[in-house]
Amino acid sequence: MKENRSDQPVRTNSGIEVQSVYTPENEDGEPAPGAFPFTRGIYPDMYRGRLWTMRQYAGFGTAEQTNERFRYLLQNGQTGLSVAFDLPTQMGYDSDAEIASGEVGRVGVAIDSLEDMRRLFEGIPLQQVSTSMTINSTAAILLALYVAVADERGVRRDRLAGTVQNDVLKEYIARGTYIYPVENSLRLVTDVIAFSSEELPKWNPISISGYHIREAGATAPQELAFTFANGLEYVARAVDAGLDIETFAPRLSFFFAAHNDLLEEVAKFRAARRLWATLLREHHEASEESCRLRFHTQTGGSTLSAQQPLK
């Protein structure tokens, strides 16, 4: 007869001990979805009322090649665009820079000029599609080019929807594509938030990212801890610059990883909503609208199978 091992501790992938069985007595009596602190959801009906934007991360080679890919994706049902930039663009190098050799157009599209941005979005109605740009140290530059293209076409700025990642602190912590000293970088981040609050009411001026921190080895709780520490710093910088929290906090967005431990990830996202709402309420007396945690998530790359050798 096998030994009964029900007394052995059960732990999640992050090492958190959990009960082997949960009963109705464990319910915490959280408010309904859409009610502060939003543990069960930031809106009453969540995705049933509004489906997620479907966008495939895409970008390679030249602006013309990526434009062709974007058009294909939109023609086949995609509802938004997500731009991948090559490393030289992420690091502020022109494609003809010696240090950029071998990396141009490799992991994303190469954008060196306003003309490149024009070609990237040729034939794509900017007022009808939201555009996410995964760009950080040079986010202010790429956003300026995007807005310039819209201005040339006569598209009103208040109709532009999208996101720039613009999260430079996580570059120092986990990823490495930073250019300037921390203080200078934070000033640029704050300037983008201020500009967007004034000129681009439908734009998310930052995507505060825990994904890369998780991929660098953090546990689920550490992912939230580092991300919210960064988030609070961005909020404090914006407030110190004279911005009213109610003018920019509703447009803050976040980006988290999703790993294989389903219940741990569900608990993480619920805890994240509640924690962020509580932090903004306690630190800044923010309204419910400003306390909503709006986030995007992707499958953690570290959970995927390694590439198999070709046979």
Q: Does some domain include residue 148?
A: yes
Q: Does some domain include residue 25?
A: no
User: Rounded distance, CA 57 to CA 15, Å?
Assistant: 32
Angle at 13 between CA 9 and CA 15, to 5 degrees: 50
User: Rounded distance, CA 137 to CA 32, Å?
Assistant: 39
pTM: 0.90
Q: Does some domain include residue 154?
A: yes
Q: Taking residues 102-115, what's their average pLDDT?
A: 97
Of 164, 193, 212, the position where a domain reaches its end is 164
Q: Does some domain include residue 143?
A: yes
Q: Does some domain include residue 44?
A: no
User: Rounded distance, CA 127 to CA 109, Å?
Assistant: 22
Q: Who's near 24: CB < 8 A, 6+ residues apart?
A: none
According to the model, what pLDDT value does residue 4 have?
46
Average pLDDT, the chain: 93
Looking only at the bridges linking them, the beta strands covering 130-134 and 253-258 are unpaired
Residue 89: pLDDT above 70? yes
Residue 106: pLDDT above 70? yes
Whether 175 and 288 share a structural domain: yes
Say how many domains are in the chain: 2
Residue 283: pLDDT above 70? yes
In this structure, the number of other CB atoms found within 10 A of the CB of residue 175 comes to 18
Q: Taking residues 22-38, what's their average pLDDT?
A: 83
Q: Taking residues 183-195, what's their average pLDDT?
A: 98
Q: Does some domain include residue 180?
A: yes
Q: pLDDT for 190-223, tens place per residue? A: 999 999 999 999 999 999 999 999 999 999 999 9
Whether 86 and 135 share a structural domain: yes
Whether 73 and 92 share a structural domain: yes
Whether 153 and 259 share a structural domain: no
User: Rounded distance, CA 73 to CA 83, Å?
Assistant: 12
User: Rounded distance, CA 214 to CA 102, Å?
Assistant: 28
Q: Does some domain include residue 153?
A: yes
CB 166 within 8 A of CB 136: yes
According to the model, what pLDDT value does residue 264 have?
94
CB 237 within 8 A of CB 245: no
Whether 217 and 289 share a structural domain: yes
Whether 254 and 173 share a structural domain: yes
Whether 175 and 291 share a structural domain: yes
Whether 158 and 175 share a structural domain: no
Of 114, 141, 164, the position where a domain reaches its end is 164
Domain extent for 272: 169-299
Residue 189: pLDDT above 80? yes
Q: Who's near 134: CB < 8 A, 6+ residues apart?
A: 57, 82, 83, 84, 85, 108, 165
Whether 187 and 279 share a structural domain: yes
Whether 157 and 198 share a structural domain: no
SS (H, E, C) the chain: CCCCCCCCCEECCCCCEECCCCCHHHCCCCCCCCCCCCCCCCCCCHHHCCCCCCCCEECCCCHHHHHHHHHHHHHCCCCEEEEEECHHHHHCCCCCCHHHCCCCCCCCECCCCHHHHHHHCCCCCCCCCEEEEECCCCHHHHHHHHHHHHHHHCCCHHHCCEEECCCCHHHHHHHCCCCCCHHHHHHHHHHHHHHHHHHCCCEECCEEECHHHHHCCCCHHHHHHHHHHHHHHHHHHHHHCCCCHHHHHHHCEEEEEECCCHHHHHHHHHHHHHHHHHHHHHHHCCCHHHHCCCEEEEECHHHCCCCCCCC
Q: Does some domain include residue 35?
A: no
Residue 232: pLDDT above 70? yes
According to the model, what pLDDT value does residue 311 have?
64
Residue 258: pLDDT above 90? yes
Whether 131 and 183 share a structural domain: no
Whether 238 and 275 share a structural domain: yes
Q: Who's near 60: CB < 8 A, 6+ residues apart?
A: 66, 69, 84, 105, 106, 107, 108, 109
Of 164, 193, 208, the position where a domain reaches its end is 164
